Chains A and B, each alone.
Chain A
Amino acid sequence: MAELNRTPLYDLHASLGAKFVPFAGYDMPVQYALGVMKEHLWTRENAGLFDVSHMGQVILRGPKAAAELETLVPQAVQTLKEGRQRYGFFTNEDGGILDDLMFANRGDHLFVVVNAACKEADIAHMRAGLETTSVEVITDRALMALQGPKAEAALARLVPNVVDMAFMDVETHASDFGELWISRSGYTGEDGFEISVPANSAEALAKCLLEDETVEAIGLGARDSLRLEAGLCLYGSDLDETTTPVEANLVWAIQKARREAGDYPGFARIRHHLTDGPARLRVGLRPEGRAPMRAGTPLYAEEEASQPVGEVTSGAYGPSTECAISMGYVGTAHAALGTPLWGEVRGKRLPVTVCELPFRPSSYKK
């Protein structure tokens, strides 16, 4: 087995008693002493610090960077104002999703953050697809997320101006820890920030944030249950090369003009799904009992039906919702809110209802 990569915060995780798991080629903390449930609840009430340095940080530079990135994603990039960030995805010729990403307009360049598991492929994809734009992979920076209702106060102790940032704003700030590239965003449904920091001062910054009594280190386990409650997709589980953005219920992330026209890969199929409707849709699922319906659980329209009408792609017990929650894909005829379905868990058909996403309201800073 190939040796696992370590992030600049590895030693800190170890000193905090993290339990590590291999994730996308990295040895990552899945939980700390608190455990997944308490880490999840802590983030919802206080502030959680996540190491997301395994994700890919890339700078796209060149006069045509925005126009050229628009040839790879269905999003509008050229209309994105300086100091703002957008959610997007790379599509293939069939309109399937190659990866989802965040991109920001930082004035003289675009800053892109991609998933760890896809980053090599994404970088190759951008190098091949962006004709005149340079693709600079950032390897000397760590990335951390500070999430939760007390994130703003905790970060403002070090960078007072962050209180003026709105959701999806990006700013550059000088600090005792070098230049910080801060966005007001995250992956938990909470207000919070993602902070790109020079690798050699990442541990000092993390320690400084953790000194605040409202901040705890949070592992990948809670990151997953937090994002699921927030109705956010995990690439590789809820999104893959076979799902179009329309099937994935991500039409909101395609700006209006780009739904009508665009020379991005898969436009024809996405357009077709937009006008005629897709055959399946991503939906929220609320199991009636406590038993979690995890990824792979087949979904049936009737208790006795032989052919499934869908499948769960993410499922867990929601520590904040205090019930089992799932999301998955079902045939469009079964996607209406309130549709009763059956999920097969350990050979038993258990009732589950199509429900709204997210499972709890998000609290982004407007």
Chain B
Amino acid sequence: MKFTEEHEWLRVEGDVVVVGITEHASTQLGDVVFVELPEDGGEVAKDDEVVVIESVKAASDILAPLDGEIVEVNAALTDNPGLVNEDPLGEAWFFKMKVADLSAMDDMMDEAAYKDFIGA
């Protein structure tokens, strides 16, 4: 699993990359009450705003961590946004994307580096 400075995690599953947010991020956000997923996926560029999540405190954007194509979104989050707090690294994945160049992930943090990054 790889991590970004935006507190996202990326996991390669076959030919797609699954993206979610870290436990640290979900704790910082507080109770998530609303998740807005992209309606029709498609091509995205790195740092495009892809998902909006609203916690009890405020709205935040989830950015595309890489260039690629969104092929699936986790519709379960629409009805049950609280999953983001309950299981951020598992059931609460946000979207799956096809990425042309997986080597772009090589520069991302591994778990140890991410823990350093958040001062854990």
Contacts and interface: CB of A to CB of B under 8 A. Distances in A.
Interface string A292-307: 1010000000000000
A37 B31 contact: yes
B49 to A, nearest CB: 9
A31 B27 CA distance: 12
Contacts of A292: 33-34, 54
A36 B31 CA distance: 7
Interface string B45-87: 0000000101011110000000000000000001001000000
Contact of A36 (B36, B56, B78): B56
B56 A316 contact: yes
Contacts of B81: 290
Contact of A317 (B36, B52, B54, B78): B54
Nearest to B27: A35
Interface residues of A, number: 16
B81 to A, nearest CB: 7
A225 interface: yes
A164 to B, nearest CB: 37
B34 A31 contact: no
Contacts of A294: 58-59
A31 to B, nearest CB: 7
A238 to B, nearest CB: 18
A158 interface: no
A155 to B, nearest CB: 28
B20 to A, nearest CB: 20
Interface string A29-40: 001000111100
A337 B77 CA distance: 32
A346 B31 contact: no
A344 B109 CA distance: 37
Most buried by A among B33, B36, B52, B81: B33
A221 B30 contact: yes
A317 B31 CA distance: 10
B36 A291 contact: yes
Interface of B: 30-31, 33-34, 36, 52, 54, 56-59, 78, 81
25 contacts: A35-B30, A35-B31, A35-B56, A36-B30, A36-B31, A36-B56, A36-B57, A37-B30, A37-B31, A38-B31, A221-B30, A221-B56, A290-B78, A290-B81, A291-B34, A291-B54, A292-B34, A294-B58, A316-B56, A317-B34, A317-B54, A317-B56, A319-B56, A324-B34, A346-B52
- Which 9 residue pairs are nearest across A and B when measured between Cβ atoms? A317-B33, A37-B31, A36-B56, A290-B34, A291-B34, A35-B31, A292-B54, A36-B31, A36-B30
